[in-house]
Amino acid sequence: MHSLTFTKGHGTRNDFVIVLDREDMHDPSPDEVRAVCDRRAGIGGDGLLRAVKAGRIAEWDGDPDLWFMDYRNADGSVAEMCGNGVRVFARYLADNGLADGPVIPIATRSGVREATLLPDRRVRVDVGTVTVEPGAVKVTAAGLDQAVPATKVDVGNPHAVAFVDDPAVLDLTRPPVWEPAEAFPAGVNCEFVRIVGERHVEMRVFERGVGETLSCGTGTVAVAAAAAEREGVAERPVTYRVDVPGGTVEVELAGGDGVEQAFLTGPAVIVGHGEFTLPEG
């Protein structure tokens, strides 16, 4: 029987179980991740963040002394990046004396992401490059009368951003469907967005490998980039307020011509610590 010492945290209620595994002694199986993230029989979370020294990660060829954020979706699948997760991961490292602030570089499958601890306890993350991609895509979700156009956006992971009249009417207990299917062969995060006002949007999101979540960090970045293109906003830098069911974040875009450098600022809250016994088998 194996037990995990864990920490639980969230960023705008996008919640994660964090496990310290400095020397990569226990790479969790998909079944174990699902057990940990189960909201009735486990700890509960949208994903698991494993803190490993980067030099222990076989595919990492950068600085071996960085902390690597090994992110797994709640269904056990591996993900490249998570904007809310990076903020919570940085807060965890700082609060536990594992990294010095205020700037903490974090290794991810999408490269190094720098997190800055702010005096108000929020965390600002350099999310890296966000690219609005060409190509016509449509998405369908329960509650929509018909398929709607969506913007393809790459934030180190794939997104389809659809602007709708009212995201609240959608039933996201069922996964959206996109066409053409080959546009996202590895799946996609689908965001449904309403323009609230100038540089202000609200969204709901269905995350691949998880389902609907109360927030998605890279999703908020994708939405801001898509909104700036849709509205023809040319000045840079520009900051968007993005409201999600779990709260509010700020996305700053710098760059232009379809390729942006993005910065995500929002809360990162540690809510508890404990020990979890993995079920046998």
pLDDT bin (cut points 50, 70, 90) of residue 55 is: very high
Q: What is d(CA 37, CA 50) in angstroms, rounded to the nearest whole number?
A: 13
Token pair recorded at residue 137: 């895509």
91 is in an annotated binding site: no
Concatenated DSSP letters of 64-86: TTSEEEEEEETTS-B-S--HHHH
- For 114, half-sphere exposure in the C-beta direction (CA atoms, 13 angstrom radius) is 10
Say if 3-126+268-277 and 128-265 have the same CATH topology: yes
* Among 98, 109, 99, 104, CA closest to 68: 109
**Residue from 18, 79, 82, 155 carrying the catalytic annotation:** 82
Q: Is 82 a catalytic residue?
A: yes
- pLDDT-derived band of residue 2, with 50, 70 and 90 as boundaries? confident
Q: Assign 281 a pLDDT band (cuts: 50, 70, 90).
A: low
Write the single-letter amino acid at 254.
A
Question: May I ask the CATH class of domain 128-265?
Answer: alpha beta
pLDDT score recorded for residue 101:
85
Superfamily the domain 3-126+268-277 falls into: Diaminopimelate Epimerase; Chain A, domain 1 (3.10.310.10)
d(CA 224, CA 153): 10
Flag whether 207 is marked binding: yes
Q: Report the chain's mean pLDDT, rounded to a whole number.
A: 95
Catalytic residue (choose from 18, 203, 216, 242): 216
Q: Rounded distance, CA 212 to CA 109, Å?
A: 23
Give the DSSP letter of residue 98.
Answer: S
Euclidean distance between CA atoms 54 and 214, whole angstroms? 29
Q: Are 235 and 277 in contact (CB under 8 A)?
A: no
Q: Decide: pTM greater than 0.85.
A: yes
Helix, strand, coil: what percent of the chain each, to 5?
Answer: 15, 50, 35
Contact 65, 102 (CB under 8 A): no
Mean pLDDT of 198-210: 97
- Domain boundaries of the chain, sorted by first residue: 3-126+268-277, 128-265
What tens digit of pLDDT does each residue of 206-232 get? Answer: 999 999 999 999 999 999 999 999 999
Closest CA relative to residue 261, chosen from 230, 216, 224, 233: 224
pLDDT above 80: residue 64: yes
- Reply yes or no on whether the pLDDT at 172 is more than 60: yes
Among candidate residues 116, 159, 137, the one with its CA nearest the CA of residue 252: 116
pLDDT digits 0-9 by tens, 142-168: 999 999 999 999 998 999 999 999 999
Retrieve residue 275's tokens: 């020990």
Buried b (16+ CB within 10 A) or exposed e, 119-133: eeebbbbbbbebbbe
* pLDDT 10s digits, 236-269: 999 999 999 999 999 999 986 656 899 999 999 9
Q: In angstroms, rounded to a whole number, what is the distance separating the alpha carbons of residues 114 and 96?
A: 18
Binding residue per annotation — 96?
Answer: no
Q: SS3 of 42, please?
A: coil
pLDDT given at position 1: 60
Positive/negative CA dihedral, 262, 267, 273, 275: negative
Question: Is pLDDT at 280 greater than 90 in this prediction?
Answer: no
83 is in an annotated binding site: yes
pLDDT at 121: 93
37 catalytic residue (yes or no): no
Q: CA–CA distance from 260 to each of 106, 128, 198, 255, 257 (Å)?
A: 20, 8, 19, 5, 8
CA 209 to chain CA mean position, Å:
12
